[in-house]
Structure 1
Amino acid sequence: MSLFKGAGVALITPFNKDKSVNYDELGRIIDRQIEGKTDALIVCGTTGEPATMTEEEKLSVIEFAVKRTAGRIPVIAGTGANSTAAVIDFSKKVQKLGVDGFLIVTPFYNKATQGGLYEHYKTIAQSVELPIIIYNVPSRTGCNIQPQTAVKLAHDCKNIVGIKEASGNISQVAKLASLAEGTLDIYSGNDDQIIPILSLGGVGVISVLSNVVPQETHDMVTEYLNGNHRKALDIQLKYLDLINLLFCEVNPIPVKAAMNYMGFNVGGLRLPLTEIERQNGEKLKQELIKMSII
């Protein structure tokens, strides 16, 4: 069962000056995403800064997103942690809020073995009812789930339905697609690899770029899935420089800067993340001007 096909936005969390959550702006951003044909909202993923949010804040943001979306598109909540018990406890609370599924990152810092990763996800899957997308991003977690492990989980756990692949290793994604044979939905976790991963049988992207240009990111994936490969590739290449600038510093520093340049009141970041370096901010602003985004 696919949670979604197309472009899901890895949603930012806007803050007020005092770094509390700005719910007015969050609502505005969600409405813009839906108007821009975004195919799913991914809330409290990496881009939403959950690492510096309390559990109460995360539950509040997720609940707000569910209510604001009102069933128009799926809402997928990030519930990952490096403790299996903590993931289960939090996911059960989130499940009651009406989300459509979970995005669960591989446990960070612990550096679990492949056997440990299998048991981690299997135990979680057996404890919750909703569909799960595994999130593989070894550059952040120090942990890489191998294709064989991911596919075994999909075969053994009916509610493990997808994987967000942000390893950056196209050869690994190809191996994953070969082994999965359609049993596991593959989503690009890197905006500069959307078309390459779609070409290997991927069904979409969980995108930072979508915060800035939701319609165009949706169109890129939709055109590819509809067989218009050249048109989709043209969109990928058109936004490649912007994508690179959105990752010139650790995510979500640049994308929050971009949204502020665009006139949204998303505020700053919570420590230890800091504001974008002046020279990088200027390059990003000039690219947004060049692309007629601001």
Structure 2
Amino acid sequence: MLQQQLRGTGVALVTPFKANEDIDWNALEKLINHVIEGGVDYVVTLGTTGETPTLTADEKLDLIKFTFEKVSKRVPVVVGIGDYCTKDVIKRLEKCPLDDAAAILSVAPYYSKPTQEGIFQHYKAIAAAAPKPIILYNVPGRTGRNMTAETTLRLAHEVENIVAMKEASGDMAQCMHIIKNKPADFVVVSGDDVLAMPQIACGMEGLISVAANYFAKEMSQMVKAALENDYATAQKLHYKLLEGFDLMFAENNPAGVKYFLATDGIVENYFRLPIVAATPALQQQITHYVQGFK
């Protein structure tokens, strides 16, 4: 059942803020409804796109509870819980309200740059403590250390509670080695909007998307078409969105996607430092693109 829940389009939700940097709960409810009505298959709360490093422990708990409440079982919810300290991850797993979570997305340890054995032991320890299945998350551009195909496959084959992976290394050869050699029931999804279509063609089963915060309908349609081997439709949507991907990630995530959302009044264009708003020049480009897209 979980394999089917993770197949398709997931969206890593942004965290809307007000001008005073408080969480904008009304905007978050609006965003949740926007993406579900747009056709996404599941939502992810407390991902990097949600500016999670700037949130307090209490805010993280409130965001989990609020997301469950407003999603109201319309789609599955995945909760992001990861850190560079294994003990801290385990403590958070014990404290977070996870009864309604489909799975836990846990980023590879960052900053400390552990060895591959260190990464393996980190995930093995948190999987043993986790009350829900674990989705590995490899994003070396943020963590400073790539989780190799060999480490991923070792975890997939040896650790029972590790059931899936979000792969955002951008290394297509590495992705193919994982897909080729993974257990049959281990789910691999893309973590790169711009690479999702070709990665699904290689055998990935969907995408956890940033762009789907704004382009919920188009991303969901593209991923669905690719999974159904309708690449004529998938390619058309991919190339329609390609410039949007470039603009969305030109300076920073979530600065780009939040400005996209602000153009439609879904969230306001506010952040917590060290994230700052997109430059006026990029905002102008995004506004022009959005006007032409519609």
Task: Give the count of matched residue pairs.
Answer: 292
Judge conservation of contact 1:131–1:161 (CA < 8 Å) in 2.
Answer: yes
The aligned counterpart of 1:191 is: 193
The answer to whether the aligner puts 1:110 opposite 2:112 as a matched pair is yes
The aligned counterpart of 1:85 is: 87
The structural deviation recorded for 1:55 is 0.9
The aligned counterpart of 1:126 is: 128
TM-score by length of 1: 0.96
Q: Deviations over 1:187-239 (max 9, x none)?
A: 11111001111011101000011011101111111111122122112111110
Measure the CA separation in 1 of the matches of 2:268 and 2:189.
Answer: 26
The aligned counterpart of 2:252 is: 250
Specify which of 237, 240, 254 is matched with residue 238 of structure 1: 240
Q: Deviations over 1:102-129 (max 9, x none)?
A: 1100111110111000000000000012
The answer to whether the aligner puts 1:50 opposite 2:21 as a matched pair is no
The structural deviation recorded for 1:183 is 4.0
The amino acid of 1:143's aligned partner reads R
The within-5 A match list for 1:174-185 is 174-185=176-187
The within-5 A match list for 1:154-233 is 154-233=156-235
Runs of 4+ in 1 over 3 A off after TM superposition: none
CA pair 282-267 structure 1, distance change in 2 beyond 3 A: closer
The amino acid of 2:155's aligned partner reads L
The answer to whether the aligner puts 1:9 opposite 2:11 as a matched pair is yes
Measure the CA separation in 2 of the matches of 1:191 and 1:223.
Answer: 15
Question: Cα RMSD between the aligned structures?
Answer: 1.2
Measure the CA separation in 2 of the matches of 1:176 and 1:265.
Answer: 37
The structural deviation recorded for 1:96 is 3.7
The aligned counterpart of 1:146 is: 148
The aligned counterpart of 1:272 is: 274
Judge conservation of contact 2:156–2:183 (CA < 8 Å) in 1.
Answer: no
CA pair 204-249 structure 1, distance change in 2 beyond 3 A: same
TM-score by length of 2: 0.96
The structural deviation recorded for 1:5 is 0.8
Unaligned runs of 5+ in 1: none
The amino acid of 1:151's aligned partner reads L
SS in 1 for 2:96: helix
The amino acid of 1:128's aligned partner reads A
Measure the CA separation in 1 of the matches of 2:160 and 2:286.
Answer: 42
SS in 2 for 1:256: helix
Specify which of 28, 37, 40 is matched with residue 38 of structure 1: 40
Judge conservation of contact 1:40–1:75 (CA < 8 Å) in 2.
Answer: yes
